[in-house]
Amino acid sequence: MELQERSWTWEQIENFFYMTNREKANVVWECRISELTKPIILQKLLDIYGEGIKATTKDVTVMYLAGWFGYLCGGMHFLSSDGWEVTGESIKLQLYKNKRGTMLISFVVHSKDLDEKWDRKWVEGFYEENMKPVFTQMQSMSINNNLLHMWYQATHSLYWISDRMKHSCLSQRYVSQYEKNLEMFKEVTPSSCMGVMTRKHPYAKKLIFIDNPWNLSDPMPLKPSCCLANQTEGGHLCYTCPRMKKSERLKKHNKVLAEHSTTS
């Protein structure tokens, strides 16, 4: 099976998972995913990325990174569902700045590093060898973060991956393969491979949907846990933050509707 024969594109993969086969420009720092299991490397990532997003505490940086790693994990599930395998050694994390100076993350995977492998068991190994130690170390490096709530940030990322897929021109076959692969992972893989000792899988967290003032026909999910955006310099609670009071959300909701009515 040649990669060229696939009908998905790297442009789609980047849109879904922030994963690309091209090196980024304006790279600030980079490392291999496998290197993040080393405390000194992970600490460097936390320091540089935390400064880039103007985090006031390390807890903030950890929660943001947990969300980014959710997209990486989603990419692993997608590749495995299509018969490909990639190792943490072959994936490069690049911190870079876009044209507006915003610090972002890209996961670089070159086509030559993808191996054909229909045995999807390797994904569990990816969690055990890479994500589990990274998440548990990030939790220990923070002060108040709960490991399960960190994985809930990844759960939220997986929701947006599925949402983007459903609104894209990606073949339904790939969407179905990915969703089936992820559901099977939730059902048969113990949470312990993610470092969480709970009976219910973190990815099986039931999402609560609320009205979307930017598009009334498209409800949006509350975040399963707070991303701590309000603890960045000049930050505030997200509209979908579970910590936001209903009265505050209603006020924001009405404000957005009013702004839209004056501009439409």
Task: Look at residues 167, 186, 201 and tell me which one is the last residue of a structural domain.
Answer: 201
Considering the domain architecture, whether residues 38 and 97 belong to the same structural domain is answered as: yes
State how many domains the chain has: 2
Considering the domain architecture, whether residues 138 and 224 belong to the same structural domain is answered as: no
Average pLDDT value for the chain: 94
Task: Look at residues 172, 201, 230 and tell me which one is the last residue of a structural domain.
Answer: 201
Q: What is the pLDDT of residues 108-117, one digit of tens each?
A: 999 899 998 8
Q: What is the pLDDT of residues 79-138, one digit of tens each?
A: 999 999 999 999 999 999 998 999 999 999 998 999 988 777 899 999 999 999 999 999
pLDDT higher than threshold 80 for residue 3: no
Considering the domain architecture, whether residues 219 and 193 belong to the same structural domain is answered as: no
Give the pLDDT of residue 259: 85
Q: Give the confidence band of 262 by pLDDT, cuts at 50, 70, 90.
A: low
Considering the domain architecture, whether residues 226 and 120 belong to the same structural domain is answered as: no
Give the pLDDT of residue 6: 74
The string of DSSP codes covering the chain is --GGG-S--HHHHHHHHSEESSPPSSEEEEEEGGGGGSHHHHHHHHHHHHHHTTBSSHHHHHHHHHHHHHHHHHHHHHHHHTTEE--GGG-EEEEEE-TT--EEEEEE--GGG-EE---TTHHHHHIIIIIHHHHHHHHHHSSS--HHHHHHHHHHHHHHHHHHHHTS---HHHHHHHHHHHHHHHHHS-GGGGT---SS-GGGPPP-EE--TT-TTS-EEPPSS---GGGBTT----TT-TTS-HHHHHHHHHHHHHHHHHH-
Give the pLDDT of residue 119: 79
Considering the domain architecture, whether residues 39 and 163 belong to the same structural domain is answered as: yes
Q: What is the pLDDT of residues 34-45, one digit of tens each?
A: 999 999 999 999
pLDDT higher than threshold 60 for residue 31: yes
Q: Give the confidence band of 1 by pLDDT, cuts at 50, 70, 90.
A: very low
Q: Which domain holds residue 211?
A: 206-264
